[in-house]
Amino acid sequence: METALFISRVIWPLFIIISIGLLFHAHEYRAMIRDISKNMMTLYIWGFLAALMGLLILESQNTFLVITILGYIAVIKGILILIFPQWTIQTFQKINFSENIIRIAGILCFALGSYVSFLGFM
C-alpha cells in the first residue's frame, strides 16, 4: 500500500503537468509525435522507458486498479515499440493526431491524474 501511495504521489502529478501542456500546446505536441515517428533512436528510448516504467509499477504495487492497468498498458506499449519498431512508425503515420484529439487526451489525462493524486494525498 505504501508503494502505491508513493506512485500516486509522484507519477500522477506528472500526468497533470503533461496534461496542461497537451491542453495549451497541442500544436507542439502534434509536432513532437510526428518527429518521434521519424527518429528510430527516440522511438527506441521511448519504448524502453515505457516498458521500464510499466514493469516497475507492476513489480512495486498491485493495490490501486487504475495504476495496475496503466502499468500493463505501459509494458505492452514498450514491448510493441521495441519488438515492432517499423510497425509502430507506420501506425503513427496512419493516425491523424489532430489538435482536438490531443486536447481531449489532455482532458482525460488531467482527470485521471487529478483523481489518482487525490487518492494518494488523502
List per-residue pLDDT tens for the chain, 122 residues long: 677 777 778 878 888 999 999 999 999 998 888 888 778 898 999 999 999 999 988 888 777 788 888 889 999 999 999 999 999 888 888 887 888 999 999 999 999 888 888 877 87
Structure-block grid coordinates of residue 61: 504495487
pLDDT on residue 70? 87
Q: Is there a contact between 73 and 54 (Cβ–Cβ < 8 Å)?
A: yes
Q: What is the DSSP code string of 10-69?
A: HHHHHHHHHHHHHHH-HHHHHHHHHHHTT-HHHHHHHHHHHHHHHHHHHHH--S-HHHHH
pLDDT on residue 74? 94
Residue with cell 506499449: 77
The dihedral sign for the CA sequence 82, 92, 18, 72: negative
pLDDT on residue 54? 92
- Cα–Cα distance measured from residue 21 to residue 25, given in angstroms and rounded to the nearest whole number: 5
pLDDT on residue 1? 63
Structure-block grid coordinates of residue 121: 494525498
Q: Which of 28, 22, 16, 47 is nearest to 111 (CA)?
A: 16
pTM, two decimal places: 0.79
- Using a 10 angstrom Cβ sphere, with 0-12 exposed, 13-18 middle and 19 or more buried, the burial of residue 100 is exposed
